Amino acid sequence: MLMCKSLYPKFKQMKKYLFIKFMFLSLMLSAQDQLKGVILETSSGKEMPLSGANVYWLDSSIGAITAEDGTFTLPYKFSYNQLVISYVGFKTVTVTVNENKYIKHVLQASDELDAVEITSRKQATRKSYLEASNTFTVTSAELLKAACCNLAESFETNPSIDVNFADAVTGTRQIKMLGLTSPYILIATENIPAIRGASQAYGLSFIPGTWVESIQITKGTGSVVNGFESIAGQINAELVKPTTDDNLFVNLYGGSNERLELNTHFNTKVSEKWSTGLYLHGNTHQKKHDVNDDGFMDMPIYNQINIMNRWQYTNPEKGFVSFINLKYLNDEKQAGQVNFKPETDRGTTNFWGSEINSERFEVTTKLGYVNPEIPYQNLGFQMAFSHHNQDSYFGLNLYDIEHNSFYSNLIYSSIIGDSRHKVKTGLSFTYDHFDELVNTTNFERVENSIGGFFEYAYDNLDKLTMTAGVRVDQHNRLGFFVTPRFHLRYTPWEKSALRFSIGRGKRSANIFAENQNMFASSRQINILNSGGKIYGLDPEIAWNYGVSYLQGFNLFDRKADVTFDFYRTDFQNQVVVDWENPYEVNFYNLEGDSYANSFQFEFNYNVFEHFDLRMAYKYYDIQTDYTSGKLEKPLVPKHRLFANTSYETEVKANGAHWKFDATYNWLSSQRFPSTDLSATQYQLPDETPTVGTLNLQVTKVFSPKFEVYLGGENVTNVRQNNPIISPDNPFGSNFDSNFVYGPIFGSLYYAGLRFRIQ
């Protein structure tokens, strides 16, 4: 006891010494020198930021991945003198660093490196071996393989996204991921949720393809930073920037269906720090087509005017970058019978017709700040307001919706110790006011939520990358809830990436806005629940689990890779859209099981110089417990085959060359919803025929300034002859336009030109 007392002062003094030493070391670590820099690539003669590039010290586990603006920050000490910079599809370089000065390096494209899709130049689709999430980037080079008139038409050459028509009247294109429709996908522009609420049905056609710089597609659950609604995945469209886009860009398009389109971009530098761009889009189609002679137009006639004014502020000395977007849209569609005239036939039974008139105004801002003294600390703020008004009718069904939305998100990012340990945290607030008129019934509601999130990312740039996040939200209708998300990437051996993800999502189902195609029928609309807070329904809740494996290898001395992925979505609660009775569509909350299994195999191969092949097979198993029993989801093929080939000739000294692209899609038979209760002449078989379509495009590039393109969609002229049930009696009880499984119009040919001044 005496010994213990005698040692206590020494022990206390030692504790004080160790504490001071620990604090000193901590301060030394936190005050260590930092190496800052930016990584660029050359595109169309311009230097552009390269995001996602790997930057690390040779023979160490200290590294970073470049941000969206190409910048990076690394801990620096004298013993670090060899900096390795790499990106799939570019030459890996090792730069000698003698002091912690600012590094600026332009990576050169290479065909000697590992890539998910190998081309002789820059990859059209990039998939990282290092990211924790299963995310790949579709670049502008990939978007140019098809006409790509709007975002809905930007996925024709991508095997992970399915594109089809929702009905035979409105011409709406619907996308699916993992077998689930777009409401289960978080669709954003520059990481601000964009296609939601009132814009869910037609919003993809409101984003012109020429405005899109690249698209990031994440399969499976998304990041907690972007919200709680993502279930099947996330699609983020990065828009062109005034500082990197062409000073003048013109795109003219004309189709054999007499569709015309014009896109023009004007970009200028206002001052040293301010740049602005004016983006104009217009398209029109005024020809009434009825190829199958059923009395209905095969596609609507329409006019769209779309304008965006974009401002960019960049101040690298102070660490600020900001974007301000102002958008205005007016979109008018007319569909229905060929002889329908709105001024005389609306609201009557003379002829069946539909008009969908949408007007939309948006303001979005993004502000980013990087601390010049502590570059790994940065702050971002996003804010968006939109007013969307749609006046529409479908025969005698009336549907109007007004949606005012406000979104804000504050994000703080930093590191713990070194750049292997990154954290993001922040707060978000959303407000939505819906005012809907469905025939004679008014549905009005307000939704608002405030939430906080925290995300930790570990990245050793070698074997393991992990992202774990959680967010908590207080929602006036969904209540208080927690959303966890987790992504893991492991590299078992060279040129490989094994990924695993799991996460939870929750959302309000906007049953009318998301299922407007059901108005184009004589079905009676029923909501069978009454106790919930959204149309009497409870919110949807689902878990998504996924595993993916990517392996690169050489085949006959040419680069190749394969990807296997499997995802499962389990609904704990779902709003079931039940149209198994041909005279009704019923909405009710799930009682029982509902799940979606998705398996995909993808093979990419650089067959020979400048010639690339991409093939994919997909299998879907989607089952739901309806009131009539467990059934496969209707009009979803179990099997899909996809093939895409692209070839480019050698680029001449003046930049001239040819590009050739072909895409083939084959769909297995699909289950028709039950028509057993219909009259005999309106009953359909249990399954659809198989469908195969072929798209072709040829592009002649005369110079970096001018190119022309010629293409064909569905060149084999596959058509569904009778997509509408009872078209001769559209006001009768059997009329329905929702049994669409294939093309309606047949072959479509188009031509266009692109002109740019850099």
Q: What does the H/E/C string look like for 342-401?
A: HHHHCCCCCCCEEEEEEEEEEEEEEEEEECCCCCCCEEEEEEEEEEEEEEEEECCEEEEE
pLDDT at 19: 42
pLDDT at 476: 97
How much is the pTM?
0.84
Tell how strand 353-370 and strand 82-86 pair up: unpaired
pLDDT digits (tens, 9 = 90+) for 166-180: 788 888 888 999 999
The amino acid at residue 251 is N
pLDDT at 123: 59
Beta strands in 574-690 (DSSP E): 575-578, 584-589, 594-608, 611-626, 629-632, 639-648, 657-667
pLDDT digits (tens, 9 = 90+) for 48-59: 788 778 888 876
Q: Which residues of the chain have pLDDT under 50?
A: 1-32, 111-121
For tokens 């990584």, the residue is: 39
pLDDT at 44: 56
pLDDT at 345: 96
Residue 573, burial from CB neighbour count under 10 angstroms (0-12, 13-18, 19+) = middle
Dihedral sign (CA 733, 735, 738, 739):
positive
- Domains of the chain in sequence order: 33-107 (2.60.40.1120), 236-349+365-757 (2.40.170.20)
**630, 495, 467, 590: which is closest to 132 by C-alpha?**
467
φ and ψ of 465, to 5 deg: -135, 135
pLDDT at 106: 87
The amino acid at residue 20 is I
DSSP code of residue 161: S
pLDDT at 3: 40
In 3-state terms, what secondary structure has residue 172?
A: coil
pLDDT at 174: 87
pLDDT at 108: 77
- Rounded to an integer, what distance in angstroms lies between the CA atom of residue 461 and that of residue 733? 62
